[in-house]
Amino acid sequence: MMRQYELVERVRKYDPTADENLLNRAYVYAMMAHGTQKRASGDPFFSHPLEVAAILTEFKLDDATIVAALLHDVIEDTDVTRAEIDQKFGPEIGALVDGLTKIKKLDLVSKKAEQAENFRKLLVAISSDIRVLLIKLADRLHNMRTLEHMKPQSRLRVSEETLEIYAPLAGRMGMQSMRDELEELAFRWSNPEAYETVSAKLGEIRARNAGLVQEIEAALQKKLVEAGLIATVSGREKKPFSIWRKMQNRQISLEQLSDIYAFRIVTSTVSDCYRALGIAHSSWRAVPGRFKDYISTPKQNNYQSIHTTIVGPRHQWVELQIRTKEMHEIAEYGVAAHTLYKDGVMLDGTNTSSHAKENPYKWLRHLVDTLLEGDNSVEFLEHTKLELFQDQVFCFTPKGRLIALPRGATPIDFAYAVHTDVGNGCVGAIVNGRQMPLTTQLRNGDQVEIVLSKGQIPPAAWERIAVTGKARSSIRRAARDALRRQYSELGRRLLVAAFRRIGHDYADEKLKKSLSRLSQKSVEDVHAAVGRGELPVRDVLKAIVPESELSQESIAKRKRTMDRRQNEEGWFAIAKGMGLKFRMPASGNDAANAANGPALPIRGINNDVPVKFEEAGAVPGDRIVGVLSEGEGIRIFQIHSPKLKEYEHERWVDVTWDIDPEHPERFPAKIAVTALNEPGTLAQIAQVIGESDGNIDNVRMVRRAKDFTEMTIDLEVWDLDHLTQIISGLKGKGAVSSVERIFH
C-alpha cells in the first residue's frame, strides 16, 4: 500500500503548490473512516481509494481531485456525511464526493443493454464537474484491475457494464489509454473463451515474428532521419480486445489475422505529419482503403491523427498512426488535456509558454470553469463536444429507476412515464427532497417522488403542461373516463330520485333485465345516457315499471309505505350505501326537495358531476337551483336569477353547496355600482374591492351622465359573505350612491 508521504510526494512533484496538509488530512481521515473494512481480496478497504488517487496522479490532477478520490467511498460505505466532508474539507471537495456518491447509487439501477446509452449520457449529465467523471473512471479502472477477487457472477456483470458504459465513456472523453485498459480487462472476464483464443493466436504470431517490432521501428526511424525529420517512433502489439473488435466489425477470421502491429510516429508540427506520411508511403506499399486523415477532420472527441496501413519489411501489415505531440497528449488524456495548450502547460509538466509558469496548475481549474460556466451541465456538454444529449433529461425514482424524458418535461410527464396510474393519481411532486410545483421543468439527475392521492382526476389543464405524448394521451383518456363516470353517477342519482317519486326502490338489477328494450349495452351506459340527457328518465321508468303501477293511486299507496320505512331507516343510511356525500334536504316542508330526494352536492367550479355555472350566477352561500339540460349536465342558477324562470319545474334538481374549505375557489359575481362622476371615484372603488381580497375581472361603464356614472363590475369572490362585505364596503364610500348585485 502506498505510504502517505509517497502520495504527497507524487502530487507535489507535478504540483508544488498542492496543499500538503490537505492531502495528509484526507489520507488519515479516509483510512480511519474505512477502519477495518476489507476488500474481497482481503486487503484493507482503504487500499482501494488510495489506488484510485494514485491513478489520478498519473493524469496530474489537482489536489482537490486527489483528496476527493481518497474520500470517494466514505459517504456511501461509512457513517460519514456530506456535511462533515464540507466542514472538514470544504464545499468543493464535498461536491465532488457527493457527485460520486450519486453515481454510486446508480449502480442499483438495472443496466440492460438498451439502457447503456442512456446511462452514459446520464453519467456525463449529472457529473456537474468533469473531475467527478475522472475519479469515477479511475475508480472503475482499479475495480477492474482487482476483479479476479470477485465472484464469477459479479465479474461478468461488472465487466459487461464496463464494456457498455465506462469504456465508451472514456472513449468519448478522448481518454484512449483508459479506454483500452478498461476494455482489455473487461474482455477477459466477459468473454473468457474469445479472450483465450485471441491471446493464443497472438502468442503464435508473436513467436513467429520475434524481433519484428524492433526491426520495423528501426526501419521507420531510419527513413525519417534520412529525410531530416525529427520524430519518435514506437511500436506495439495490439491487444486482444481491439483485435477481437476488428474481427467482429470486419468479420475476418482469426486465421486471416495479420495486422497485429501498430506504430506511432509523433512529430512536432502538423506539416511534419504529412511529410512522415509521404516518406512511409514512398518507402512501403500502402494498403488501399486504410487511409484516414483525422488531422484535417478531427473526431467528435477532438482526436486527431493520420491513420494508414503499409505492407512492412517482412510483408506484414503494419498500422501507422502519425500525429503531433499535442495531438498525442489529447489522444491519451482526452478531456483532461483539452485546455492544456491555452494555459501553455503540458501534462508532462513542460511549459510551452512563459506566462504559464506563474500558475502552472491552473489548467484544470480553468478547464472546469470553462466547461461549467454557471454550473450548467448543458454548457459542459457543449464545450466538451461529447456528443450531446441536450434534447433529453434523466431523472430517477426514489428507488433509483432511471427515467429518460425529453427536455422541458415536468413531474407530470415523469409520473406518466413511471406508470399511467401514477400519472392519474399524481397530486404533487417532491424533487430532490423539496416540494415543487407540477409545472417545474425537470433537470438532469433530479430525484422525483410523486405524491399520490386516490380518486384524483387529472385536470384537463395538465395536457398543456405535459410535453410527452404518453402523458397527454393518458390525461385525455382519464378526463374522458372521469366525465363518463360523472355522467353515469348523475344519471344514477336521477333514476334513484325518479323511482322514489313513484314509490319504488331503485336497483341496478332491475335495469339489467330491460337493457335491450332501452337499446343500451350495460347499466353504466343507461346511467350515462340519462346523465347526459340523451335518455329521458320516464322512458327508463316505462321500461321497468308495469303500466298499472304508474297510476296515481298505486303511486300514492306505495309512497305511504315507503315514507314509514324511510322514517325508520333515515336518509343517511341510503346515502351512505351509495358511497356519496349527501346533505339532508334544506327544510322538511319544502315539497320539491322531499320529492327529489337528497340534494346533489356542488363542490365548486370543477365539480364531480358535469356542472355549468351560469354567467355571474351564484356564489357559495346563495340558494341555488340546478337545471338538467340535455348534453350539458346540470346548469346552476342563483334562485333569483330571471333566467331560471325559463325552465319548467320538472327539470329542476335540488343542489346544495359543498365547498371544500381546504381548497377554496373564487366564483364570478356581478355588481352594478352608481357613483359620483368625479376624479378618484374609480380608484376608491378599486381600492375597497382590492382591500377586501376581491378580484376585479372587468369594469364596464354603462352610462355617463353629467353627475353620475353607472358601471357594472365583474368580480371574483370566495362566497356570499365575501361578496356582501365588498358591497357594504362600497356603500360606505361617499362617492358611491348605490350598489346592487345582478345575475345576468
| Single-letter amino acid, residue 354 | S
The DSSP line for 188-214 is: HHH-HHHHHHHHHHHHHHHHHTTTHHH
Q: Contact, 717 vs 669, CB < 8 A? A: yes
Q: Per-residue x/- marks for Mn ion, 14-53, CB under 5 A?
A: ----------------------------------------
DSSP state of 440: P
Annotated active-site residue 77? The verdict is yes
Which CB atom, from 154 or from 695, has the smaller least distance to Mn ion?
154
CB of 223 to Mn ion, least distance (A): 47
Which CB atom, from 139 or from 329, has the smaller least distance to Mn ion?
139
| Single-letter amino acid, residue 50 | L
CB of 20 to Mn ion, least distance (A): 24
Torsion of CA 211, 216, 222, 224, to 10 degrees: -150
CB of 158 to Mn ion, least distance (A): 12
Q: Of 133-141, 174-182, 317-325, 481-489, which part binds Mn ion (CB under 5 A)?
A: 133-141
Number of residues located near Mn ion, criterion CB under 5 A: 2
Residue with cell 491513478: 55
CB of 281 to Mn ion, least distance (A): 47
Q: Of 9-17, 135-143, 371-379, 634-642, which part binds Mn ion (CB under 5 A)?
A: 135-143
Of 139, 164, 329, 489, the one binding Mn ion by CB under 5 A: 139
Query: In which element (H, E) is residue 140 found?
Result: helix 130-145
C-alpha grid cell for residue 255?
486465421
Which CB atom, from 119 or from 414, has the smaller least distance to Mn ion?
119
Q: Of 26-34, 138-146, 396-404, 493-501, which part binds Mn ion (CB under 5 A)?
A: 138-146
Which residue's Cβ lies closest to Mn ion? 139
CB of 72 to Mn ion, least distance (A): 6
End-to-end CA distance of the chain: 88
C-alpha grid cell for residue 29?
481521515
Q: Which of 19, 43, 58, 77 is catalytic?
A: 77
Q: Helices (H) and strands (E) in the chain — how many of each?
A: 32, 20
Of the candidates 26, 23, 18, the residue with the CA atom closest to the CA atom of residue 46: 26
Q: Of 73-81, 367-375, 394-402, 671-679, which part binds Mn ion (CB under 5 A)?
A: 73-81
CB of 241 to Mn ion, least distance (A): 23
Rounded Cα gap, residues 144 and 189, in angstroms: 10
Q: Which of 58, 76, 293, 463 is catalytic?
A: 76
Sign of CA dihedral 290, 296, 302, 306: positive
Q: Of 67-75, 205-213, 480-488, 673-681, which part binds Mn ion (CB under 5 A)?
A: 67-75
Q: Of 5-13, 70-78, 551-559, 673-681, which part binds Mn ion (CB under 5 A)?
A: 70-78
Rounded Cα gap, residues 319 and 644, in angstroms: 92
Which residues from 670-699 bind Mn ion, rule CB under 5 A?
A: none
Q: Of 65-73, 155-163, 330-338, 725-733, which part binds Mn ion (CB under 5 A)?
A: 65-73
Rounded Cα gap, residues 273 and 268, in angstroms: 8
Establish if 161 lies at the interface with Mn ion (CB under 5 A): no
Which CB atom, from 47 or from 638, has the smaller least distance to Mn ion?
47
Q: Contact, 490 vs 528, CB < 8 A? A: no
Which CB atom, from 30 or from 336, has the smaller least distance to Mn ion?
30
Which CB atom, from 8 or from 55, has the smaller least distance to Mn ion?
55
Q: Contact, 529 vs 520, CB < 8 A? A: yes
CB of 120 to Mn ion, least distance (A): 19
**Residue 338 to residues 264, 310, 383, 605, Cα–Cα distance (Å):** 21, 31, 10, 60
C-alpha grid cell for residue 655?
343542489
Which CB atom, from 39 or from 542, has the smaller least distance to Mn ion?
39
Which CB atom, from 137 or from 233, has the smaller least distance to Mn ion?
137
Q: Contact, 10 vs 54, CB < 8 A? A: yes
In DSSP terms, 741 is beta-bridged to: 671
CB of 230 to Mn ion, least distance (A): 43
C-alpha grid cell for residue 461?
389543464
Which residues from 393-452 bind Mn ion, rule CB under 5 A?
A: none
C-alpha grid cell for residue 92?
468543493
CB of 48 to Mn ion, least distance (A): 6
The DSSP line for 476-500 is: HHHHHHHHHHHHHHHHHHHHHHHHH
Which CB atom, from 140 or from 362, has the smaller least distance to Mn ion?
140
Establish if 73 lies at the interface with Mn ion (CB under 5 A): yes
Rounded Cα gap, residues 100 and 139, in angstroms: 10
List b or e across 288-323, with b for residues whose CB sees 16 or more CB atoms inside 10 angstroms.
eeeeebbbeeeeebbbbbbbbbbebeeebebbbbbb
CB of 49 to Mn ion, least distance (A): 7
Which CB atom, from 72 or from 472, has the smaller least distance to Mn ion?
72
Rounded Cα gap, residues 269 and 231, in angstroms: 10
Catalytic residues: 76-77
Which residues bind to Mn ion, rule: CB under 5 A?
Answer: 73, 139
